[in-house]
Amino acid sequence: MVFILYKKDTSPPCRSVQMVLHELGIYDVELIEVNLPERDHLKEEFLRMNPQHTVPTLIDGDFIIWDSHAIVTYLVNRYAKNDTLYPKEPKQRAIVDQRLHFDTGVLFAILRATAEPVLYNNEKSFKQENLEKMEAAYEFVEKFLTSDWLAGDQVTLADICCVSTISSMNVIVPIDKKKYPKIISWLQRCSEQEFYKKANEPGLKKFIEMFKNKIGN
């Protein structure tokens, strides 16, 4: 079965889905890049699939699902050979879920609020209050890291989804290795994973180039 993924490589949520697909060994995927500035996501064909007109959007046969966290949990629940990425044990799963909600409500929320005005509204600098919120988010993540990974002793969806966002935040507010040594070590461990190399690094490089083109740094 061929999956279809509508995505934008600079988008952390899209990169999360691609990392999970890679980790699950699902390679038979038709990747369709959505040009947001050209408003591809507002075309009638796309709106029929996803009335929220967001990326990523995944088609699996006759099933259509959007929102990166909904997509990755669906993929693991249906196609994973074990529950390593998304444990079935209620307490372990609750921790992973908490981290996923943190990614949605805190990490990606502040990244989007900070980046979009510069990338798409031609603002020349970041709002100081948003930069401070990023620092506050780093402080939380540093405290979450009581083991090698964000939700225990092994890689889970929490790491995959959060690292796509945090590696992007690091472009705007570089993570201080003295203040946040656990995050730096965690990022290093994530960067050594094959899914990160194959499905996060290429889009992250494009994300960096976007900012270089916009703010000249």
By annotation, the residues acting in catalysis are: 11
Q: Measuring CA to CA, which residue among 100, 176, 96, 99 is closest to residue 131? A: 176
For residues 103 and 12, is the Cβ–Cβ distance under 8 A?
no
Q: Name the amino acid, one letter, at 43.
A: K
- Helices 128-144 and 108-120 meet at what angle, rounded to 10? 150
What secondary structure letter does DSSP report for 105? I
The DSSP code for 64 is E
**Lookup: tokens for 153:** 């002793």
Determine the angle formed by the axes of helices 90-102 and 157-172, rounding to 10 degrees. 20
